[in-house]
Structure 1
Amino acid sequence: MKLKKYAVIGIMMALLVIVGCDNKGNDKNDKDKVKVTNVKRDISTEEIAKYNEYSKLSDVPNSEEWNTFFMEIKKEEFLNETGNIKNISEVPTFTENLDSSINLIGEYIKEITDIMQKSPKMEAIDKNAENLINSLVEEQKVLTEINDYFEKGDYKADKLAKVGELNDKYKVVLQNRQENHKIFANSLHEIAQIINQKMENQLQKDGKTAKLNILKFVNSVNEFGKTAFGKNNLNFDENEVKTLEEANNNVQNAYKVVSEITLENAKKENISESDFKKIKESSKTLSENMQKMVAGVKNQNIQDVVMSASNILSAKTDLENVFNLLMVQK
Structure 2
Amino acid sequence: MYVNFAACQRSDDLLYEEIPKGPLRHGAALVLALLLCTTAALAAEPVQRSLIPVGHTVGVKLFARGVVVVKLPEGGTPARTCGLKTGDVIVECGGEAVTSTEQFQSLLQKNGTDATALEIKRQGSPLTLSVEPERNEQGICCIGAWIRDSMAGIGTVTYYDPATGAFGALGHGITDGDTMALMPFGSGSILPSTVKAVKKGSSGSAGELRGNFDLSGDLGPLCANTDCGIFGTLPADCTLAAGEALPVGDAVEGPATIRANVSGDEVREYAVEILKRLPNASDGREMVISVTDPDLIAATGGIVQGMSGSPIIQNGKLVGAVTHVLLSDATKGYGISMETMLNAGENV
TM-score with structure 1 length normalisation? 0.24
Question: Of Structure 1 and Structure 2, which has the larger fraction of its residues in helix?
Answer: 1
Could you say which structure has the higher strand fraction? 2
Rg larger for:
2
Q: Which has the higher contact order (CA 8 A, sep 6+)?
A: 1
**TM-score, normalising length: structure 2:** 0.23
